[in-house]
Homo-oligomer: A and B are copies of this chain.
Amino acid sequence: MLAAARTAFAERGYDGASIRAIATAAGVDPALVHHYFGTKDRLFLAAVQAPADPDEFLPEVLAVPPDQRGAAVVGMVLRVWDGPTRPAVLALVRSAVNHEWSARLLREFVLSRIVRRVVGSVDVPVEEREARGALVASQVVGLVMARYVFRMEPLASAPPPWVVAAIGPTVQRYLTGDVELPHPR
């Protein structure tokens, strides 16, 4: 079931993959998938082997005022990575860099389960959301790589409040600020 789910989510994305189609591909009844995983969201978390559930850390971010949401995003990233789940998240990033299917799965997870919910929570035109989300992701992924993978000083050992003060404004600008955006494809 998990193998079928990974293929489906990687090929068709979160929204395009259905529990019914995943069950068919795995040769089981959809009821069995529901029995084991409950919702599509939980099946997706299991397929990605997500070490943290966005439903646990996102509500806090979405609760801060829109003009402070950039800082809240950076703070959240640091809490997830500075916590006990770091080895598991790092393994996820390694796998994504090594395998095309894994990269697609992680991209879909980060974009549809985290970034889109953050961007969807601020007051910007719908047609700008995808571009703003990709820009937010570019800075967040870069922060993670520089601090935890490449361990570039002083970013690697800097206390979270400094990182939030330095990088929060970038994420805020990408979320709600003045950014030249491409035409919709």
Contacts and interface: CB of A to CB of B under 8 A. Distances in A.
Contacts of A94: 97-98
Contacts of A134: 146, 152-156
A107 B152 contact: yes
A37 interface: no
Contacts of A162: 180-182
A169 B173 contact: yes
A150 B185 contact: no
A64 interface: no
Contacts of A139: 138-139, 142, 170
Given A98-B98, A134-B156, 6 more contacts: A107-B151, A131-B158, A138-B143, A141-B141, A145-B145, A166-B181
